[in-house]
């Protein structure tokens, strides 16, 4: 009897203690009790408070642990704290729900929505299902000075409506050390390569761009040799259509000659000429061409005494390559580890001869001339125009008259892939390019007489 009564009193005491704590300490618990209801209804009306996980620096947590344990009323009584003064480094924090201002919001994959302060998440390709279009998509770096053009047949004087609407004569072409700062990083980190720096390492990009010669140290100044003042350029692709063309002398008669990737000259001078003013490449397309086409005679890149080299940075490895080249060292990590880039460009190479295409120029070309349907598909992140397309479009922006040789035409199946193939090879369409679009675009330019595209009848 005594044991039953003792257990009964213990049970009543426990219930009384539990209800008392719940009533008087509701602000300190993870439960909310409605004291206006009856006991049974009140117990059923307990509501679990929402738990929010917040990333907090360890030092800040211990410094402010007292605040976390205070009630809301006590916290409101605390005097406001001022922001830290001076140049003390602090963690960059920003309030985010999703990546801001991206158009076509259904593009971004679902991510947890948060209203608390957290470290800003870098933009990465896997966050998007197709190419993200941002409000500043059409904002491009512009060159500070546009040279006057006195050529009477200057392609910029074209009255073709679609070309006039798309073409920007003063769009920035190349990067210089002045083009990296915090503002530019934030602007370009949301565009995937080669259109920006998405997924790149901040330190790698910063160190690479800051060793590029400045605007005053490196300028691309072309001068005409003809009496009419026109700068005439030949852009030479590697298409099989040039085999047996006998266009070599005509190509070399231009003021400047552009070549790309695996441009084999020795033994093919009668068809493709021998002069090289500009060699356009990515670090990968150049080194891969030297390996793959070595058996065809491509043992070094085409180099003249005054040849200039133009790099298209298509990814992180190109910035590692750039840094090593401008510092005249070996690449310290990554795809080209231990390679010495400067050794690829001949005895007359100097750093001011190496130009790097600005991501804005790449994005401008994609937006206005090469807007492929691929950008709305699963391969959007790897799409870019061909290296040959970059070479041809660069010529359109620095020359007055342009003639294109060895570029893909509608009857490409009639010719081997390259002019130096020893037997017929089918042209392979790789998924990171839109060859059909380029075929149509080259025909549009040719028909509009903006440049001349070499054909065989």
Cβ–Cβ < 8 Å for 265, 293: no
d(CA 210, CA 190): 20
| Tokens representing residue 409 in the block | 């035409």
Q: What is the pLDDT of residues 342-372, one digit of tens each?
A: 999 988 899 999 999 999 999 999 999 999 9
DSSP label at 214? P
Beta-carbon neighbour count of residue 159 at 10 Å? 7
H-state helical runs in 84-227 = 161-166, 182-188, 202-209
Q: Spell out the per-residue pLDDT of the chain, length 457, in tens.
A: 445 455 555 666 666 665 555 544 444 333 433 444 443 444 344 333 333 333 333 333 333 333 333 444 444 444 333 333 333 333 333 333 334 344 444 565 554 444 444 456 789 999 999 999 999 999 999 987 666 678 999 999 999 999 999 999 999 999 999 999 999 999 999 999 999 999 999 999 999 999 999 988 898 889 888 888 999 999 999 999 999 999 999 999 999 999 999 999 999 999 999 999 999 999 999 999 999 999 999 999 999 999 999 999 999 999 999 999 999 999 999 999 999 999 999 888 999 999 999 999 999 999 999 999 999 999 999 999 999 999 999 999 999 999 999 999 999 999 999 999 999 999 999 999 999 999 999 999 999 999 999 998 7
H/E run at residue 289: helix 283-292
DSSP label at 99? S
Cβ–Cβ < 8 Å for 265, 302: yes
pTM over 0.85: no
Spell out the domain ranges in the chain.
24-74, 158-453
Q: What is the pLDDT of residues 228-280, one digit of tens each?
A: 899 999 999 999 999 999 999 999 999 999 999 999 999 999 999 999 999 99
| Tokens representing residue 273 in the block | 């000429």
Beta-carbon neighbour count of residue 296 at 10 Å? 16
* Positive/negative CA dihedral, 58, 64, 66, 68: negative
**Which backbone phi and psi does 444 adopt, to 5 degrees?**
-60, -45
Cβ–Cβ < 8 Å for 442, 393: no
H/E run at residue 308: strand 308-311
Beta-carbon neighbour count of residue 4 at 10 Å? 8
The CATH T-level fold of domain 158-453 is sialyltransferase cstii, chain A (3.90.1480)
């Amino acid at each position: 009897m005594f044991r039953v009564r003792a257990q009964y009193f213990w049970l009543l005491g426990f219930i009384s203690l539990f209800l008392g704590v719940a009533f008087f300490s509701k602000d300190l618990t993870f439960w909310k009790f409605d004291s206006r209801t009856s006991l049974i209804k009140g117990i059923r009306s307990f509501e679990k408070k929402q738990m929010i996980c917040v990333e907090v620096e360890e030092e800040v947590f211990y410094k402010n642990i007292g605040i976390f344990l205070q009630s809301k009323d006590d916290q409101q009584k605390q005097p406001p704290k001022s922001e830290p003064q001076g140049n003390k480094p602090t963690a960059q924090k920003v309030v985010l729900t999703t990546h801001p201002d991206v158009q076509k919001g259904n593009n971004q994959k679902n991510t947890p929505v948060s209203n608390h302060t957290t470290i800003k998440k870098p933009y990465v390709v896997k966050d998007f299902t197709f190419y993200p279009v941002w409000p500043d998509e059409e904002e491009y770096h512009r060159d500070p000075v546009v040279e006057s053009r006195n050529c009477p047949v200057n392609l910029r004087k074209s009255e073709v409506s679609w070309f006039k609407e798309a073409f920007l004569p003063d769009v920035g072409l190349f990067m210089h050390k002045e083009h990296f700062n915090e503002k530019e990083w934030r602007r370009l980190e949301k565009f995937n390569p080669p259109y920006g720096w998405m997924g790149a390492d901040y330190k790698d990009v910063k160190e690479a761009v800051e060793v590029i010669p400045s605007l005053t140290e490196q300028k691309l100044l072309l001068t005409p040799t003809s009496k009419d003042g026109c700068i005439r350029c030949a852009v030479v692709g590697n298409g099989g259509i040039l085999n047996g063309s006998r266009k070599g002398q005509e190509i070399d008669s231009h003021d400047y000659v552009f070549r790309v990737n695996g441009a084999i000259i020795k033994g093919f001078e009668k068809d493709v000429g021998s002069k090289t003013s500009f060699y356009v490449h990515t670090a990968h397309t150049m080194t891969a061409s030297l390996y793959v086409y070595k058996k065809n005679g491509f043992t070094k890149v085409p180099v003249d005494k005054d040849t200039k080299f133009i790099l298209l940075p298509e990814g992180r490895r190109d910035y590692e390559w750039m840094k090593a080249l401008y510092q005249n060292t070996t690449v310290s990590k990554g795809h080209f580890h231990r390679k010495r880039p400067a050794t690829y460009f001949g005895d007359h190479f100097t750093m001011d001869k190496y130009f790097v295409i600005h991501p804005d120029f790449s994005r401008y070309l994609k937006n206005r001339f090469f807007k492929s349907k691929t950008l709305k598909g699963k391969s959007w992140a790897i799409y870019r125009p061909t290296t040959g397309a970059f070479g041809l479009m660069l010529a359109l922006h620095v020359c007055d008259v342009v003639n294109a040789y060895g570029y893909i035409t509608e009857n490409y199946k009639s010719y081997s892939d390259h002019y130096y193939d020893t037997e017929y090879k089918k042209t392979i369409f790789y998924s990171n390019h839109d060859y059909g679009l380029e075929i149509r675009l080259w025909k549009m330019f040719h028909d509009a007489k903006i440049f001349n595209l070499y054909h065989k009848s």
